[in-house]
């Protein structure tokens, strides 16, 4: 009963401020295309990616996220292209976003390239009030929202080499509202500012170490800071830990099954009072890449 009551409170809180923050991912270093359009094509391969995240297992109405994306360099030009679909469910609300990305890359030194990117997104937002089990479903204060459409645009910068990267992006620049009764806004799209970075240290021929970070700032919410540390053994097995400031600790593991196929998993446990109401969060992803003939990534970059 305690969990259900807490879930109801969390559900209404989520609806009232839904989409003020984009979906969060523990393994953000593999899912950069969702937050920074300048990432498109940066891996030098046709890259397919799919991720599933179940957050706060055991808490009714907790977030569930699914994302599928593809990005690739365009022929032998300086352009990169990307396409992604993100599905988020929080309680009675569902959000679906289809995004297209284009990037342009310039060399700035022998090792580094600077990419500029823009993103166009079509959002569909829905609320099924029946999932809240209201006592009077005819009450005009409780109305469904069915696939309300809102467009958005975003932009980003991405400075990268084979061993390092840093990027800044705003994936949604337009701030939009959806209304239940043309008076009260229950869906608010806010600007999310991202700063990401990472570096690969070669400790030995068989061991690499990569610290990484992501910071996210959005109006009305605390600054979110994620830091992680991963080790790669023999260019096959990856293992590490991550910390989301004042929120969660995470354990991550991944395996390079072949040159093109990589699979990863992470488990989060809360460091807040939410830990009393759920059994953690799970995240799994798959990445498959097709390299050009006689081409292969020289350094496994974790990004």
Q: For residue 265, give Cα distances in angstroms to 68, 161, 240, 268.
A: 16, 26, 11, 10
The answer on pLDDT for 6 being more than 70 is no
The pLDDT value given to residue 128: 83
Q: How far is CA 70 from the centre of its chain?
A: 14
Mean pLDDT estimate for the chain: 85
Whole-number Å distance between alpha carbons of 219 and 236: 40
CA-based R_g, the chain, Å: 20
DSSP E strand stretches across 135-175: 145-160, 164-170
Main-chain phi, psi angles of 262, to 5 degrees:
-135, 140
Query: pLDDT tens, 183-198?
Result: 555 556 778 999 999 9
pLDDT category at 293 given cuts 50, 70, 90 is: low
Strand-pair category, 46-54 with 224-233: unpaired
Whole-number Å distance between alpha carbons of 24 and 86: 12
Give SS3 for 273: helix
The dihedral through the CA atoms of 282, 68, 97, 130 has a sign that is negative
Query: pLDDT tens, 42-80?
Result: 998 999 999 999 999 998 889 999 999 999 999 888 999
What is the pTM assigned to this prediction? 0.86
Query: pLDDT tens, 158-216?
Result: 999 989 999 999 999 998 765 555 555 555 677 899 999 999 999 999 999 999 999 99
Averaged pLDDT, 230-250: 94
Reading the block at residue 50, the tokens are 């799919």
The pLDDT value given to residue 176: 73
- Tell me whether residue 9 is exposed, middle or buried, using C-beta atoms within 10 angstroms of its C-beta: 0 to 12, 13 to 18, 19 or more: exposed
Whole-number Å distance between alpha carbons of 301 and 93: 36
The pLDDT value given to residue 186: 56
Whole-number Å distance between alpha carbons of 150 and 144: 17
The answer on pLDDT for 294 being more than 80 is no
Q: For residue 197, give Cα distances in angstroms to 17, 111, 291.
A: 28, 16, 24
Whole-number Å distance between alpha carbons of 192 and 18: 13
Number of H helices, E strands in the chain: 1, 17
Q: Which of 111, 119, 104, 120 is nearest to 41 (CA)?
A: 104
Main-chain phi, psi angles of 216, to 5 degrees:
-135, 130
Query: pLDDT tens, 253-273?
Result: 999 999 899 999 999 999 988
Contact between residue 49 and residue 34 where contact means Cβ atoms under 8 Å apart: no
Whole-number Å distance between alpha carbons of 240 and 254: 9
Reading the block at residue 27, the tokens are 């393994």
């Amino acid at each position: 009963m305690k969990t259900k009551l807490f879930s109801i409170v969390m559900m209404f809180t989520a609806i009232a401020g839904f989409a003020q923050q984009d979906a969060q991912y523990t393994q953000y270093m593999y899912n950069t295309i969702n937050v920074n359009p300048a990432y498109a094509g940066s891996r030098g391969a046709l890259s397919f990616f799919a991720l599933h995240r179940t957050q706060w297992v055991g808490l009714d109405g907790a977030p569930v996220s699914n994302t599928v994306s593809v990005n690739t360099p365009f022929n032998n030009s300086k352009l990169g292209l990307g396409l992604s679909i993100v599905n988020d469910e929080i309680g009675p609300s569902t959000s679906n976003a289809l995004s297209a990305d284009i990037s342009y890359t310039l060399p700035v030194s022998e090792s580094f390239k600077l990419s500029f990117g823009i993103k166009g997104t079509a959002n569909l937002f829905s609320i099924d009030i029946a999932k809240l089990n209201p006592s009077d479903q005819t009450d005009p204060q409780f109305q469904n929202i069915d696939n309300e459409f809102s467009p958005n645009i975003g932009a980003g910068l991405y400075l990268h080499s084979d061993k390092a990267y840093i990027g800044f992006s705003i994936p949604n620049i337009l701030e939009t509202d959806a209304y239940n009764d043309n008076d009260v806004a229950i869906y608010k799209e806010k600007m999310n500012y991202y700063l990401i970075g990472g570096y690969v240290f070669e400790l030995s021929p068989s061991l690499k170490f990569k610290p990484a970070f992501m910071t996210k700032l959005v109006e009305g919410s605390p600054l979110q800071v994620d830091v992680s540390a991963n080790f790669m053994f023999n260019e096959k097995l990856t293992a590490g830990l991550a910390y989301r400031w004042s929120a969660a600790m995470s354990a991550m593991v991944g395996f390079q099954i072949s040159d093109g196929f990589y699979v990863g998993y992470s488990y989060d446990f809360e460091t807040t009072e939410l830990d009393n109401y759920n059994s953690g969060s799970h995240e799994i992803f798959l990445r498959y890449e097709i390299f050009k003939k006689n081409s292969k990534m020289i350094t496994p970059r974790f990004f």
